[in-house]
Structure 1
Amino acid sequence: MITPRFSCSQNDRSVIVSVYCPAVRASEIEIHVDHALLSLHVAPYFLRLNFPASVVEDNRSSAVYDPASGYLTLTLTKLNPGVVFPDLDLLGKLLAPPAQGRPRNPTIEVLGSGDNPGYTADLGATERNEILEAAANEWTFPQTASDTLPVLETSLRKPYGFLNAYSGYFLHVGTTENEVNELGADAETLSPSERRIRRLRHEDSKWNPEHYMADYADNEQMEELLAWTHPHLESPSTSVVFTEAENAAMLRLPRKEYLPSPQETHDLYLALLTLLFAYAYDARTTLHDPTPESAWTIAALTPAFSALDPPPYSPPHKRRGATVAHELEPVQPEPALDFGFDSGTPHELATTLIPSYRRALAFPLYRSWALADGCRMDAAYFLIRGTRTVLRCLLELRAILEGHEVYYVYSRIWLDDFCRWIQAGAREDTLIRLGKIVSHLGISKDSIGWDLVVLEHAVQTTKESKPDSDDDVESEKPALL
């Protein structure tokens, strides 16, 4: 079945659904409304929408098909007039299946001792009471996992990507020209800690102090990039209207339902921050006009792509010089959705962005601390503007990678799912809160692991020691006899 193009709008009394299904017979269209669920079927199209509130079919409802344009217009009456249906423009959220609630009563019957003496003979009074109490509370008694049992691994492959749901995408990496892959032919078998070691070593090997000093000295070039404002940040956030191309891209996203744990949800927000940073860097350096190098830049700046190493990251040690091992301590997760607010230093979000800063200073054409800081602020403002702006950025990011013959793989294992999850799984208030925290972050240059302050001081000293004009140069020339 084909999911047709569609759009939704509303007024005080009705929801209007416009569906593009050309060359069909109006007599064969089947429409079914069940509370908040609308189902439409006409071969070869099938559409099921889950509205935020209930609608009904009554004498004010209608279905009109225009064979000339190919559009079917459905008008459904709101069960409660005046109620505003939020997020009708987030097509992925409407396409998501309705949430399945847990059963209110236990589905396992606990038999008494009179019914099954053999079963209860081995249970003491305490155990029986715990089971009965758990059953009365929907089986939510506390559980703890044993720390002594090793993780059972049945394959040499290690998962990666969105919620660690993928493997097998780098089996033939030796025959492709994937220049950003830092794991080589071992991408499928390296553990997360080994991936992190490879990433850190690669970043240190690519660090070039002379390149950084040259960009630091070129103030005019950096000032031009920093003065630019992203178009998504110029107009009010309430004015976001998705284009036809964006709506079509949303309809092509995979139909999946995600059930992440609180910690996994927390980590997804952290990974989202690194994606928006990479997108912001490319947008600033190309003035929002992607080039053939944009896919490489984005993939190179995102640790989850180039090294399959998403956050959370361990805080770096405060030391100078090489940083190969400074993130290899076990990560102690923060409480879900806390983002390190009340934790110690360094801030969890600062720690999340340190690899992005390092990569922005080691790989692309422009390597400037001020530019990296500007990208952090851009990412923060995208988040503050909410779900629609973030989704628009991710769709653009996805389109850039989809157009590349090699790097499209990162769209498959990360961005397809992120574009889907941001609509139906992410919370707008959490995105805004996260953005506000990021906008006030202070990332220390010492945390990067390279001597940035020393190099900048050397550039400043050189500038101050240079002659200020040609006259000064002439005065320094030896007199001719």
Structure 2
Amino acid sequence: MLTPNFELKQTDKHVILEIKAPLANIAQTELVADDFNVFFSSPPYYLRLKLPGQVRESPTESGTYDVDGGIFTFRLEKVVEGQNFEDLDLIGKFLFAHKKYQARPKIEVLDDVVPSSESEDEDEEQFWIAQQTLPAESLLTTPGYGFANKVTGNGAALREEFYEIIELTDVETTPVGERKLRREREELEKFCEDHYLADFMEPSEINAIIEFKAPWEELLENKLECKLTPEETEYLKDLGNRDYLLDAQETKSALLSLADIVFAYAYNFRTFTGENTVESAWTINKLSATLSWFQTHETAAQMKVASIRRSLIYPLYRHYGLSMKVLEDTVKILKLGRRQY
């Protein structure tokens, strides 16, 4: 079954669902609105949504179909009139999630104090109940990578296909905690003093890049909203939706990895004044420790240091002032929320 392109809009009373399905079988079309869930079927199309509020089929209205455009339009009545359904343009949020990724449970000893009544052979017992520190990763556990380190078993294939980007050679065997140390050793070997000094002594071109007015700066100054293009909306639909059950540290690491990638994106955007080049994909992946080393950041400071280090070692322009400007860009992009350049 195919997932059709669709769009969600709203009024005070209704949620308007528009579905583009030019190959639909009209005779077998069915729509069901049940509480938070909406089901649409019209072979070869199938769509299942979970909305942020309750809806029901309107007894006074029915769906329409535009034959020329191949578009179904359904008006679903809000159970709570006037309720605002947030982020309806971020359609990927509402697609049914097919799989949950469960975080490993954390086990903690709450109390290891020996009662005073058991004082016999106290010295010997204290020896056997001494606190122990378990390793962060078991030797029998394959190190993970990807989003929240949930992926395993595909490291060799990734390394073979993206050998120019992924610098971590032993993806499946290098513990997560060791990746940072190996990355930093390699960065020290790759740092070129001559290139850095040349950019520092002749900064005219770099100064122009630093002074470039990025669109997110104007949006932040004027408190404007950025709207998604039809192409971006379709990409969200194709990307789909997954539910992840993450603990607090995994959530923090995932967000820091996002900031790491945003920094690399902002560097590419600024240095080429908003235009992509044949080097853009390489630049973004190379500057991101998350993408090139599958590194998991534990703190914001660690993420910032890694991003700035790599921006002074690998790309065309290597200037500390530029790196700090890109860091400002990263903060501004994150402040503006989910819909940005």
**Common fold, TM-score beyond 0.5?**
yes
User: 1:220-255 CA distances to partner (integer Å, 9 max, x unpaired)?
Assistant: 111110111222443456532211211111111143
Paired residue secondary structure (1:54): strand
- Residues 3 and 47 of structure 2 are in contact (CA less than 8 Å); yes or no, is this contact kept in structure 1? yes
- Residues 65 and 73 of structure 2 are in contact (CA less than 8 Å); yes or no, is this contact kept in structure 1? yes
Evaluate the alpha carbon distance shift between residue 349 and residue 371 of structure 1 in structure 2; reply closer, same or farther with a 3 A threshold.
Answer: same
- Residues 62 and 75 of structure 1 are in contact (CA less than 8 Å); yes or no, is this contact kept in structure 2? yes
Evaluate the alpha carbon distance shift between residue 57 and residue 254 of structure 1 in structure 2; reply closer, same or farther with a 3 A threshold.
Answer: closer
1:456 aligned residue: none
Amino acid at match of 2:208: E
Amino acid at match of 1:144: V
Pairing 1:385–2:331 present: no
Paired residue secondary structure (1:35): strand
Evaluate the alpha carbon distance shift between residue 149 and residue 81 of structure 1 in structure 2; reply closer, same or farther with a 3 A threshold.
Answer: same
1:148 Cα deviation after fit: 5.5
Paired residue secondary structure (1:234): helix
Pairing 1:358–2:323 present: no
Amino acid at match of 2:148: L
Within-5 A mapping of 1:91-130: 91-97=91-97
Amino acid at match of 2:19: V
Q: Give the alignment partner of residue 208 of structure 1, picking from 192, 195, 199.
A: 192
1:297 aligned residue: 283
User: 1:303-328 CA distances to partner (integer Å, 9 max, x unpaired)?
Assistant: 1122221202xxxxxxxxxxxxxxxx
Q: Give the alignment partner of residue 310 of structure 1, picking from 296, 301, 319.
A: 296
1:149 Cα deviation after fit: 5.7
Aligned positions, number: 311
- Residues 31 and 40 of structure 2 are in contact (CA less than 8 Å); yes or no, is this contact kept in structure 1? yes
- Residues 56 and 78 of structure 1 are in contact (CA less than 8 Å); yes or no, is this contact kept in structure 2? yes
2:182 aligned residue: 198
The 10-residue stretch of structure 1 (89-98 or 47-56) with the greater mean CA deviation from structure 2: 89-98
1:48 aligned residue: 48
Evaluate the alpha carbon distance shift between residue 234 and residue 33 of structure 1 in structure 2; reply closer, same or farther with a 3 A threshold.
Answer: same
1:26 Cα deviation after fit: 2.4
Paired residue secondary structure (2:89): coil
Amino acid at match of 1:388: R
1:352 Cα deviation after fit: 2.1
Pairing 1:278–2:229 present: no
Within-5 A mapping of 1:71-470: 71-97=71-97, 144=109, 147=132, 152-154=138-140, 157-172=142-157, 176=161, 178-184=163-169, 186-235=170-219, 238-312=224-298, 348-389=299-340, 393=341
- Residues 13 and 81 of structure 2 are in contact (CA less than 8 Å); yes or no, is this contact kept in structure 1? yes
Pairing 1:6–2:6 present: yes
- Residues 23 and 67 of structure 1 are in contact (CA less than 8 Å); yes or no, is this contact kept in structure 2? no
Paired residue secondary structure (1:362): coil
Bigger RCO (CA 8 Å, 6+ sep): 2
Amino acid at match of 1:258: Y
Percentage of pairs with the same residue: 33
- Residues 56 and 76 of structure 1 are in contact (CA less than 8 Å); yes or no, is this contact kept in structure 2? yes
- Residues 148 and 251 of structure 2 are in contact (CA less than 8 Å); yes or no, is this contact kept in structure 1? no
- Residues 198 and 307 of structure 1 are in contact (CA less than 8 Å); yes or no, is this contact kept in structure 2? no
- Residues 160 and 167 of structure 1 are in contact (CA less than 8 Å); yes or no, is this contact kept in structure 2? yes
2:128 aligned residue: none
Evaluate the alpha carbon distance shift between residue 17 and residue 237 of structure 1 in structure 2; reply closer, same or farther with a 3 A threshold.
Answer: farther
- Residues 60 and 77 of structure 1 are in contact (CA less than 8 Å); yes or no, is this contact kept in structure 2? no
- Residues 148 and 253 of structure 2 are in contact (CA less than 8 Å); yes or no, is this contact kept in structure 1? no
Evaluate the alpha carbon distance shift between residue 91 and residue 144 of structure 1 in structure 2; reply closer, same or farther with a 3 A threshold.
Answer: farther
Paired residue secondary structure (1:276): helix
- Residues 94 and 241 of structure 2 are in contact (CA less than 8 Å); yes or no, is this contact kept in structure 1? no
The 10-residue stretch of structure 1 (358-367 or 237-246) with the greater mean CA deviation from structure 2: 237-246
Paired residue secondary structure (1:171): helix
Counterpart-to-counterpart distance in 2, 1:173 and 1:47: 32
Amino acid at match of 1:230: A
Instruction: Point out the structure with the larger strand share.
Output: 2
| Root mean square deviation, CA, Å | 2.4
1:318 aligned residue: none
Amino acid at match of 2:173: T
User: 1:422-480 CA distances to partner (integer Å, 9 max, x unpaired)?
Assistant: xxxxxxxxxxxxxxxxxxxxxxxxxxxxxxxxxxxxxxxxxxxxxxxxxxxxxxxxxxx
1:52 Cα deviation after fit: 1.4
Counterpart-to-counterpart distance in 2, 1:84 and 1:26: 32
